[in-house]
């Protein structure tokens, strides 16, 4: 499932690139010091702009956890060191799973 979610993120990003959006907005994948991952997807200027998601939290163990949320401007996720794929799955689910047509 992770490979599919990664491919989805790539396709979603490419569909948003219109010679303007990618110069001001985009996707950030970073690491956390606890350890873990952080994902931030800018929704401004995309079909997902304005789409919100209440904070979802899954706490399995100290190293196996996931938090996802959206304020309509950004989709954000944070998770444990082995939860990056799950975060990408969560974004795909949030986006509806279908890659939109280019803007």
pLDDT tens, 55-71? 999 999 999 999 999 99
94 Cβ partners below 8 Å, 6+ apart? 48, 51, 53, 68, 70, 75
What letter does residue 43 receive in the DSSP assignment?
A: -
Is residue 81 helix, strand or coil?
coil
The pTM for the full model equals 0.89
pLDDT the model gives residue 51: 95
Q: Are the C-beta atoms of 103 and 46 separated by less than 8 Å?
A: yes
Q: Are the C-beta atoms of 68 and 76 separated by less than 8 Å?
A: yes
Give residue 39's Cα distance to chain centre. 6
């Amino acid at each position: 499932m992770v490979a599919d979610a990664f491919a989805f993120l790539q396709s979603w990003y490419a569909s948003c690139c219109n010679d303007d959006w990618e110069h001001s907005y985009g996707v950030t994948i970073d690491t956390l010091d606890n350890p873990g991952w952080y994902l931030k997807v800018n929704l401004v200027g995309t079909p997902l702009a304005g789409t919100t998601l209440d904070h979802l939290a899954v706490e399995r163990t100290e190293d196996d956890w996931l938090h996802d949320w959206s304020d309509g401007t950004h989709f954000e996720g944070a998770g444990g060191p082995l939860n990056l794929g799950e975060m990408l799955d969560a974004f795909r689910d949030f986006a509806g799973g279908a890659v939109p047509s280019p803007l």
